């Protein structure tokens, strides 16, 4: 098995410099990707995700909200990074927060879906004229 590959759309956004969608920002950069994809890089968030969701898959953190403990992850199955996204607020409680365990088959949101339905929506809520000054 080769090195994990991030979804094309995510890599495209990084290559175009489209990485800061206030209040969201991507955790990878072109430089960090040049060093390879490290599935253990953000282990703290992945471990909290596993404990709180009971998920049947691993995750790769790719974005977080700067104003709260909300994270966006790609699902990882058998070392392969899937273009399936889960965006979730973590409590870091160390215990399961969901009534039913999260299953990879239930994830329907792709990266581009996430940008449109989560990133742009959250950015629109924070937009104001003062942001355009200076």
Widest CA span of the chain, in angstroms?
50
CA–CA dist 46, 62 (Å, integer): 11
Give the pLDDT confidence score for residue 33 in this predicted structure. Answer: 83
Query: How far does CA 45 lie from the centroid of its chain?
Result: 10
Give the pLDDT confidence score for residue 83 in this predicted structure. Answer: 98
Residues in the chain: 134
Question: Mind listing the pLDDT tens digit of every residue in the chain (134 residues)?
Answer: 567 789 999 999 999 999 988 999 999 988 888 888 888 889 999 999 999 999 999 999 999 999 999 999 999 999 899 999 999 999 998 899 888 999 999 999 999 999 999 999 999 998 888 878 86
CA–CA dist 76, 68 (Å, integer): 24
Give the pLDDT confidence score for residue 20 in this predicted structure. Answer: 86
Q: How many CB atoms lie within 10 A of CB 87?
A: 18
């Amino acid at each position: 098995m080769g090195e994990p590959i991030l979804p094309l759309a995510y890599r495209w956004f990084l290559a175009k410099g489209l990485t800061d969608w206030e209040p969201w920002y991507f955790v990878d950069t072109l430089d960090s990707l040049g060093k390879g994809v490290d599935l253990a890089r953000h282990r703290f968030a992945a471990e909290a995700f596993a404990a709180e969701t009971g998920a049947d898959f691993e995750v790769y953190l790719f974005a977080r909200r700067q104003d709260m403990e909300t994270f966006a992850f790609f699902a990882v199955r058998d070392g392969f990074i899937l273009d399936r996204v889960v965006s979730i607020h973590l409590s870091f409680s160390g215990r399961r927060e969901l009534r039913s365990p999260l299953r990879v088959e239930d994830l329907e949101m792709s990266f581009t879906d996430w940008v449109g339905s989560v990133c742009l929506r959250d950015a629109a809520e924070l937009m104001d004229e003062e942001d355009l000054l200076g």
